[in-house]
Structures are given as C-alpha cells and as structure tokens.
Copies of this chain bind each other. A is one copy, B any other.
Amino acid sequence: MPDRGPGWTTAGKFPIFQEKHEMPVTATLADRLLSTRSHSEALCQPLQTEDYVVQPIEDVSPPKWHLGHTTWFFEEFVLKPFVPGYSVFHEDYAFVFNSYYESLGERVIRANRGNLSRPSVQGVYKYRRHVTEKLMEFLEGEVPAEACDLVEVGIHHEQQHQELLLTDIKYILGNNPLLPAYSDCGPEEFPKLGAAEWITVPGGHYDIGHRGEGFCFDNELGRHQVLLGDFEIASLPVTNRDMLDFIADGGYRRFDLWHAEGWDWVNREGIRAPLYWHERDGQWQYYTLKGLQPVDPEAPLAHISFYEAYALAEWKGFRLPTEFEWEAAQEAFGWGNRWEWTGSAYLPYPGYRKAPGALGEYNGKFMVSQHVLRGASVATPHGHSRPTYRNFFHPHLRWQYTGLRLAR
C-alpha cells in the first residue's frame, strides 16, 4: 500500500522527507498536485456553506480553514520563494491561515478559528483557484529540485488535512442535534469481521523505519534494527461486539482497568461509550456519515481514546502491541480502515534530526505526551498510508477513526 511516486529528486535538503529519486518528473508532479487539490474540494461538495464555518471544539477546525491553510502552505513555501514577482493573494491571509508555524509570525489562535466568518467560503475557493493556477504555471517551466520537493511536501500536507477534513466534518455534523447525514453514499463502508486469530511472531531482529523509496515524513526516517521477543498479534482488530460486551460488563465503571489519568478523564467527562454512540430505548446507535444507525457488532470499533483502548485490552486480558511489533508483523495481517492505537509513545527514532527553518516545526516538536497509531482509516487519502507511517495523537482524543488490535 505504500505510495511509490515516479521518482522526483529531493536532493537531501529537506530531512523531513526521504531522499532517493534522481530527476524531477514535473509533469507527473503537476498531475498529482491537481488531483490532490480537487480531491479536497470534492470532499466538501456535500457541505452547505454554514458547515464550512463552525468549530465545535478546539481540535476540530472549520472546513474552510483546512481549504485555506493547505493553500497558504503552497503560497508561503513555494510561490513566495520561487516565483519571481509573485504577489500574495491577500496580505491578511497569512495571519488567518497560518497554523502553528511560530517562525512565520503571528496567527489566529487555534481556538478562534470558528469565530471567523470572513474570508467567505467563496473567497477561500477563489484563493484556492488563484494559487493552484499559479502553481500549475510554475510547474510548466524549469523547476528547481528544491521547489519540486516542496510541492511534494505540500501534496502530502494537503492529504493529511484531507483526513482531518473528513473527521472534522463528521464531528461538526455528528454533534449537531439534528444529526444530519453527510452523504447517502459516504466513504464509511466497513467490513464485517469474523473471529480474530492469533498470529505468532518469532522474536529476533527487525528493521524499523522507512526503507528509502518513495515519500515519507521525517519521523519515519532513521531506519534501524530493534530486538523483539516472541509475541502474538491478532489477525483482526477489535470489533464493536467487544465494546458492547465491555459496556455491558461495566467496563467504564471499573477503575482497575484504567490508567489513573484515564480514570480521571472518564469521570470528569462522563464517558460511558465511544464517541458518537447514543443509547436510545436501550439500544446502542451511532452517528455515521449517513446519519444515525444501529451499532454493527461485526464492524471494527472506532472513535475511542488511547485510554479506552488500553482499558479494553486490560479487560480482555491482553495488551496493545508496540509500534515496532506492529510494523514487524504487519505483512501477516490486513490493516487499514481505522487507525490502531499502539502501546508506544511518540518519540524520535535514533538519529532523528529536525529540518532547518519552518519545516523543522513539522513533526519533532510534537514528540512528547502523545501516542503512536499505525495503519490507516477510511478517511486516509489514497496513497497516504504505508507500513512505516507514524500517526500520533494525545491519549484522550477520539474524533479520528481510532481503534485497536490486541497482542499478547
């Protein structure tokens, strides 16, 4: 499933992604750029204008912010430095659409993104068109390798935001009392899973980290050997049936299953089921992109925090795999469809180095207090998952498609 692009040169200048390809193939890059840009817009096609604006919680950004921010990224890192005489679309947009790049100056604080009615949705689309056109013109000419690399980063950056775009839309609609559907033929098609089996993995040395072909982020680099003991890992992820049993067995009220801070979280927030689950007349239903539906016991469990993943594994008498175990074993099982919490904290690999400049803010500064997830979800864009991909979130977050796989 890894994304194997046709080989553009990164020339070793940007350690946040991997470096292997010999020559720029800008034609292809332009195609991929266009396709990525239009995919973001396609994801928003079912929305009404109002849906683009709101931000129910700080972690969720308004869809129009995602559309603007991914555009700003290209303007800031590609058009401004590489296109002579480029004048920015609107001087205030850098302020509005910068996300967290401290090196690039003042910005709207994250919690205030939902307070901005302007720029309008129409304005953001104009901004997108303007920047996409300028990029396409630019890519038609002689493009320095460095700029190609940055366009490539911009594509992957936009793909990451496509996943957030869909999960944020789900949050916005799924927390509206009217529970409106996103689409009748939405992307949320889940397999019916049978019974999981234990896959035995012998201990020994395993190579971890990106192999050096195709794109990757800097946090996957520094391929290195790890020594693992014998372990077993489930062939399938945990399903909703397990969660229904966990709830029925009082799992949310048994402190002994939880981390201390997980238990505090359960009580402080009044948690008694995964996100989007509603008990109606004694039956569990959940909000999906098609609207409210009965919980399907055979579908893979999603929208749980790391705390819940840990407690559920405790209750089953097993544990979460480490991210190394997961990567070592992943060829032996199917994955994708939801992210899987691992037992590993998000920390740098040996030899990890931050990129210089603003791009150096991309990954390294988040390497504390978060947990690694492996796999991919239904919201992950095509070509944006691979066995070495390291996703990461704080342990209490649930609005992504997050589940778990057991190990022992």
Chain B residues, CB < 8 A from A178: 92, 96, 118-119
In the complex, the 4 A-B pairs of residues with the closest C-beta atoms, listed nearest first? A345-B345, A56-B115, A50-B117, A227-B227
Q: Chain B residues with Cβ under 8 A from A347's Cβ?
A: 343-345
Closest B residue by C-beta to A106? B177
Contact A114 B54 (CB under 8 A): yes
| Whole-angstrom distance between the Cβ of A154 and the nearest chain B Cβ | 21
Across the interface, which residues of B come within 8 angstroms of A350, CB to CB?
A: 229
Residues of A at the B interface (CB closer than 8 Å) are 48-56, 64, 92, 95-96, 100, 102-103, 108, 112, 114-121, 172-173, 175-178, 180, 205, 224-227, 229, 255-256, 258-263, 306-307, 310, 343-345, 347-348, 350-351, 360-361, 365-369, 371, 395
Evaluate whether A259 and B176 lie within 8 angstroms (CB atoms) in the complex, with A54-B115, A227-B205 already known.
Answer: no
Interchain CB contact under 8 A, A53 and B53: yes
Contacts known (A92-B177, A102-B263, A176-B117); A368 close to B224, Cβ less than 8 A: no
CB-CB < 8 A to A262: which residues of B? 368
Contact partners of A116 in chain B: CB under 8 A: 54, 176-177
Chain B residues with CB under 8 Å of A120's CB are 48-50
**B229 touching A227, Cβ below 8 Å:** no
- Of the candidates B50, B227, B261, which one forms a contact with A49 in the assembled complex, judged by CB atoms under 8 Å apart? B50
- A233 CB to closest chain B CB (Å) equals 14
Instruction: List chain B residues, Cβ under 8 A from A361.
Output: 256
A56 touches B112 (CB 8 A): yes
What is the CA–CA distance of A345 and B48 in the complex, to the nearest angstrom?
Answer: 44
Known: A256-B103, A261-B368. A52 touches B55 (CB 8 A): no
Are A365 and B260 CB-contacts (below 8 A) given A56-B115, A115-B56? yes
